[in-house]
Structure 1
Amino acid sequence: MSHSILETEAVEFVRDLIRIESVNTAVAETIGDGETRAARYVQERLHEVGISTEFVEPVPGRGSLVARIAGTDPDAAALVVHAHLDVVPVDSAEWVHPPFGAVIEDGLLYGRGAVDMKNFAGVILAVARHLARSGTRPRRDLIFAFLADEESGGVWGAGWLVDNRPDLFHGASEAVSEVGGFSVPLAGDGRAYLLATAEKGVGGVRLTARGEAGHASRPQPDDAVVRLAGAVARIGTHRFPVVRTPALQRFLDVFGAAADVTFDDDELDAQLEQLGFVGKLATASARNTAAPTVLRAGSKSNVIPGCAEATVDVRALPDGEADLLAELRRLAGDGVDVEPLASMAPISAPIEGPLIAAITAAIGAEDDGGVVVPYLLPASTDNKHFARLGIHGYGFVPLRVPDGFDVYGQFHSAEECVPVDSLRFSARTTARILATA
């Protein structure tokens, strides 16, 4: 079976990028120059077809690349299409296939970054070249951004560009990137393609309890460890109420209609579990969450410490930060201070509009059984940085996969892989979206 140049190049570029070990260890001394080498690779491929680029390297090795293709409508706002070039570390002992070998076996492409997210980097590189070769002019300006450091919060990638080079994104109103676009089964023979229209915030709080220090042979009534342990237990076992954000409501409407189910807030977790792996994703996006992760108290077994601390990871829904903090203070109780730590605020974008219409039309053209379904991502992407420029972020990397293939479960996993046919589908569908959005 022959494939178009677009599809062939998409697979080739994804494989080449996987072979560039751009591992983000989050430790400057061990990161190396992988991100810069990946950005230079993209730059060379774009220059081959006459696309001008801007390479930015705020510190050695942490390179990003931005290119703009002019649209036909000068009054239309630009669209940012972005992918990060860094990947998380690997433990090679956990892999059967070499994590940076880009091996194809039984129709699957294996390698770190196969879904997170060198797949989309390779696809949008191929689409940009396709537009240039064919002379196709998109309706609106397209800003292609290939970014460093997403896996450590975007400090030297999207965050740095937004703070220091906002001119590169002048006139943009929307952005498309991870995490979404992959198909999941609907009841019957249909497929839902999840579109992330919102993201939870990412942050934390520090709990601090203080009491009278002393010898452990004389327990204190105001023991800081005991007080903190009670607060941690209450927070860790608390279930926050379901909040039907616009994204969650649309998700429940579509999946409920397909399965002839009416979702009830009191039974929602159990009902969503019946949907399989996609239900677990929806469960995590249905409410604020708080998870105790770090405990610190004392240094010697026979000394009652005067102070005990805990760190709690918190994930707030859009407009839910104040309610979450208030509930944590209530749960912590008297004598435990609750201090918010640095965080990235939740974001949300409209669940309808011309861009979503273009995405829906492109999916319909490539998969007549496909339905685009908004959802709320319980994690974080570089879209949070672009939101600071007033850019609405969406997560949509189109991938039609077999019904049992959990794309979300591939993120950061050993033996990370993606079906090769899905990459070809991704290239065709993304080209349709960007030509018409």
Structure 2
Amino acid sequence: MTITQPDLSVFESVESEVRSYCRGWPTVFDRARGSVLFDEDGHRYLDFFAGAGSLNYGHNNPVLKRALLDYLERDGVTHGLDMSTTAKRAFLETFRDVVLEPRGMDHKVMFTGPTGTNAVEAALKLARKIKGREAIVSFTNAFHGMSLGALAVTGNAFKRAGAGIPLVHGTPMPFDDYLDGRTPDFIWFERLLQDAGSGLNQPAAVIVETVQGEGGINVARPEWLRALADLCRRHDMLLIVDDIQMGCGRTGSFFSFEEAGIVPDIITLSKSISGYGLPMALTLFRPELDVWEPGEHNGTFRGNNPAFVTAAASLDAYWRDDQTEKQTLARGERVEAALAAIVRENPGAGASYRGRGLVWGIEFADPARASAICARAFELGLLLETSGPQSEVVKLLPALTITTEELDEGLRILDRAVRETA
């Protein structure tokens, strides 16, 4: 693809240096539909990024767009704080009927601020309030957000350093297979809990991702998650599952923890819960944990009614039956086969792959190789990002609605980018 150098002057002169994605994709995007974006010069890009997991149903999904336009055209409420509105009622009823009740869950729904880190902050605050303790256990290579409480349970040293102050009351433990299977699961964690001389304050909660997306596509085994849930029960700790990127069907089932057969005490959702890329975040918790006083935790933009509209429409369109889950798992098998072939055909790359559903990664022995592959893929018309503590993993996060033809096209481009960066 021949790309004319775009005019980026206003972004470089006015916007902060903190910008990041635009540096890897140096063009000006103009429109998007499904799994395809176009820049202002008309160049086409296949999207294996999906808004960092915020666009599970693709860009400008026509079903969700129609619901949103109809709502706006009738002057539906857009900003509502935590007031009762018809849009909020429709979402709550649909979420209860389509997601919670079929799974035997009676969790209460809390609308936090508009982003995932807001949902995490609410979860941590609630756990501490309930248990009367400060410590929260997280895991190596975890990522839970960029605000101070969420950063305290995040593993990435670069992101933690940006806090500018000590990040306290968080204790990291080894994630599944962090020690390459050399020790039994949780032997260190449980020994610290049992030893009065360990220096570990009794935690209020444990927070975990079932698949660490930003941490490098590290997939927790179902048996590891079950053992963690059991450990939390035996030691009076709440279990928080951060499903912000891996929920809403990314791993197949609506919640990523369903495969393990566990039901967390607290769950955080954001990214694709609105379905349309509109800001929205939820913290779910068991009814007996609902100890908030009115107004004790609030936020101006927790009532994003257009997001309620598209969220209800996405649940109606994609989660009334099991077809989305089946399609995601089938697409995932297609990705796995392609990645296996890429690794097999490039033995000198020191590569390995892993994933679940429609979140996958290829790790390279040389971290620079992953960045080079993503850069070459962009030149060839495919959007990919890296993840992992050294950006050593090429991360695949296509929309759940991607067609098989688009998926195969993107995988061919990836294969070519790997070969051409050898």
| TM-score, structure 1 as length reference | 0.24
> Which structure features the higher share of strand residues?
1
